[in-house]
Structure 1
């Protein structure tokens, strides 16, 4: 008799332990990792760090798709973190990286394995960090607590950033998206080798935050991802619209190429062969420096995506604007997107970054951000800036948005409404589009959340009148508060619950488990339900409904070329 072979797949790994280290012979080669005690010594986790999933993208491999790394020879030391990918060190310091070393030789991943290595194959969670596609690293995120709480394997990765990761000429010379291809290669490495660490190659969840969540979404709508992962968690990011993919990135690329001395003014918008050679040889620090100058050069009050090196339509990994390719129900992208489970959410104060954009307007409008943001600043500067960039300077749209986000309750209330405007534009409405589409066309799970519990800890200072949960402040909770010095008993319990939901989702595509005692989290298909992680757990419906109507119905009616409305997806369900 075969006793449950389909779900009771035991593995025996070739391992050895000594002096706080652990050696493993994997399908990728022999390596030495760390055996670490956590939770006051009551739990063990095994860490394998700086595993090279691709060849160093230097020389002729710079601005090329990643090449799979050869299998390791000899005993590889996987006990220390590797460097970050190229980025501005002072900005990296603000994000509290474990170290500030940067290098082009950075395509590494870190594997966190809970408890033991001889067990049933565990689900795998691959974390893609955020940072606007120009900063961040996988090593910032300690996956040990999440791995042990949920009994899953957690992987954190590096990928190329900024000009190195997303420079493009929008043609075959430099098609772009190298950083996204890095993420894809890391997932392929996981698929091919994670069984050696006790991971299930058929239960892979991608999860990411901010730019990392955008990357997850682009991978979830790419035909190249077919069969590579089964679940996706998007924290504060993801958009079906064209804005992030706008081709201004091509002009930015040429500007930097000229600034580093690899293109003459007379060359125009074509790149000769010697310029390609020059780009592959030019000093990496110079590229970082000149890219930063460009990023700070916008004259817009609210530049948003316009100064970023970011994903673009390359015709292969990203074949078109997601909302367009998903309309074709016979496309591979449609099939991939609707074959995975999705869990997506945001924080209550996602748009707080509008405060920093408003800082340079204080003298012009004679106000202090300590007191709030005046209606005049929102309606004369910030909203028109967005409308110029996204809606062809349509004055009627400016007027509609000004009316929708004007608050007569004083400067503080107006400041909070300005934050709502920014959060709705960049995060809340794009999230609704994704979830509406997925819940309509997919038979897989669709789940939504909102973080409203203001943390006792803050990532960085905020105005006293800001009452929400800032962009990124849920991350510490998801990873078990491992880098937070002081937190409350309730926060500890809340974050434990969050980790259980996340890892349950990684196991089954459903955040609920019959034996953890948590509140049942209903599907988004149940009247647009979402879970509110606040002072207590609550189930609610129709997140920000009054404000979402503005983006869903009012704005499209004012702009004949507007293609944002999710109601445009009139494709029969299941076809």
Structure 2
């Protein structure tokens, strides 16, 4: 998939088009919050110094609060260090810098490595008791995005919760590895742990309960949640986890998201990550061994690193952060015992399939029948006939929708469902499928095929994106309110079913022929049980040898 002239190899995109188009509105939206309004709680003293946010009498927003020192010069590719304290009241009324990335979700991209900051959104006033805390980790394939793109005012006020969104190092800055380099392939995950530690020490000053923290994220953020679920260093830093369109075993077969894509898993062995990093360093003129090679790499300007940003963006396992592959850790029970809310969208892969083929210079179009035939043969080989029989052409309006169903089921639904089965043996699990057939668009350019509930489309129900509220009809507004109720009920109690509205039973495997998956769609009967295994052909894929 492309944004501009760049290939997006993971299709873990989140907000590529919509945020870029709408960020210009963010300042206007934020400006509506007065720094002098509210109950006087717009100045909060953190452990490193005081910050002044904005308040409107209903909600307080604090942006760009440093939780770690700038990872620059000798701190580049090292574990996060505490920030320097400040004496004067720090302005926290505007977003902090996004971590270095190419243009895409962030208009113009970012070249600022002083980016390890977070944002706090809290209801105004002093609560009768500390509020539950939701720490949001943004998606973007581990190479783009920013926490400030997610406006959490609706979630904070309706759910009476404190919401924290974080930045973390991306791409080569966050997941570079090299032989002898401590922390290879894990700096972005270490940043997330540093932010969670900051929450433990500081969130009570914003009215939050450090003993009731939910780690939540979508796409790469959801994958991060699963990584932290299995990381010894995250023990005690959160008490529940929400994983949206992201699991411990996300991977893809050949050609899934674009022609020529190589099959891979998102988590890679340490040796593989270090070998890739050695090649990246050599490409940049920093060949050799430590310490000389790292001195060379740390001396490179950001401009030299951005062209190779996406060469190193796979978290590594086989280290102190992830001792084993996270999916294996789930299988053997080596994960933190916390309640889990997990799920995916019904039509995840329409996002990549809608722009699969070239349509001219700088233009893309949906997959054609000719391309479908070619990639089916290339991807499945001798098993092509079995896959075609499972997904007959008569069941789909186009080759693009047929391919999208195959990739959605094999890449997204299977990994999410199997993760839920592993977790449900030991902890409470609540599983969902977002199924709005016509959610608000994620791109300002109308797609040339039906998108359905594409990857990231559930985010509009939970957040204002890029400073803009969602364009929801009456049914979608009710769905959004119900989803926020479910999410914040889960954050408060570990059970989304305690929210008012349709019941949400646990996902159970023992003694249940069809584990409960909650379909989330607008309209009467839109919230209901769904047999996700049948709808997404999971029995076929489970028995399929790939």
Following superposition, the deviation at residue 22 of structure 1 comes to 4.4
* Unaligned ranges ≥5, structure 1: 1-16, 38-42, 296-306, 388-394, 560-575
Following superposition, the deviation at residue 479 of structure 1 comes to 1.4
Residues 86-485 of structure 1 mapped to structure 2, 5 A cutoff: 86-88=100-102, 90-93=103-106, 101-169=110-178, 171-173=180-182, 175-240=184-249, 243-247=265-269, 249-263=273-287, 267=288, 271-291=289-309, 295=310, 309-329=313-333, 333-334=334-335, 336=336, 339-355=337-353, 358-360=356-358, 369=365, 373-374=368-369, 376-381=370-375, 384-385=378-379, 395-408=381-394, 412-442=397-427, 444-461=428-445, 463-479=447-463, 483-484=468-469
Which residue is equivalent to 1:53?
67
Describe the superposition over 1:492-544 as per-residue Cα deviations: whole angstroms up to 9, x where unpaired.
22111111111001000111226x3x111121116311221223333224204
Change (3 A) 1:350 1:91: same
The 1-side partners of 2:327 and 2:482 are apart by 33
The 1-side partners of 2:419 and 2:66 are apart by 33
**What secondary structure is seen at the aligned counterpart in 2 of 1:501?**
helix
Describe the superposition over 1:92-145 as per-residue Cα deviations: whole angstroms up to 9, x where unpaired.
346xxxx85541000000111102135410000000000010000011111122
* RMSD of aligned alpha carbons: 2.7
Describe the superposition over 1:60-92 as per-residue Cα deviations: whole angstroms up to 9, x where unpaired.
11001111334443322222211100000x213
Runs of 4+ deviating beyond 6 Å: none
Describe the superposition over 1:157-193 as per-residue Cα deviations: whole angstroms up to 9, x where unpaired.
0000010001112654552210011001100110111
Which residue is equivalent to 1:68?
82
**What secondary structure is seen at the aligned counterpart in 2 of 1:279?**
helix
The 2-side partners of 1:326 and 1:250 are apart by 25
Following superposition, the deviation at residue 290 of structure 1 comes to 3.3
**What secondary structure is seen at the aligned counterpart in 2 of 1:408?**
helix
Matched residue count: 485
Contact 1:445-1:509 within 8 A present in 2 as well: no
The 2-side partners of 1:135 and 1:193 are apart by 27
Describe the superposition over 1:347-383 as per-residue Cα deviations: whole angstroms up to 9, x where unpaired.
12101244256314x79xxxx946x631x53343256
**What secondary structure is seen at the aligned counterpart in 1 of 2:372?**
helix
Contact 1:22-1:35 within 8 A present in 2 as well: no
**What secondary structure is seen at the aligned counterpart in 2 of 1:123?**
strand
The 2-side partners of 1:424 and 1:318 are apart by 27
Which residue is equivalent to 1:82?
96
Residue of 501, 504, 509 corresponding to 2:494: 509
Tell me which moved more, 464-473 or 79-88: 464-473
Larger Rg: 1
The 2-side partners of 1:541 and 1:213 are apart by 22
Change (3 A) 1:74 1:484: closer
Which residue is equivalent to 1:534?
521
The 2-side partners of 1:129 and 1:419 are apart by 24
Describe the superposition over 1:417-473 as per-residue Cα deviations: whole angstroms up to 9, x where unpaired.
21011112221000011111111232x343333333421444354544425111111
The 2-side partners of 1:169 and 1:357 are apart by 35
**What secondary structure is seen at the aligned counterpart in 2 of 1:459?**
coil
Which residue is equivalent to 1:543?
532
Which residue is equivalent to 1:3?
none
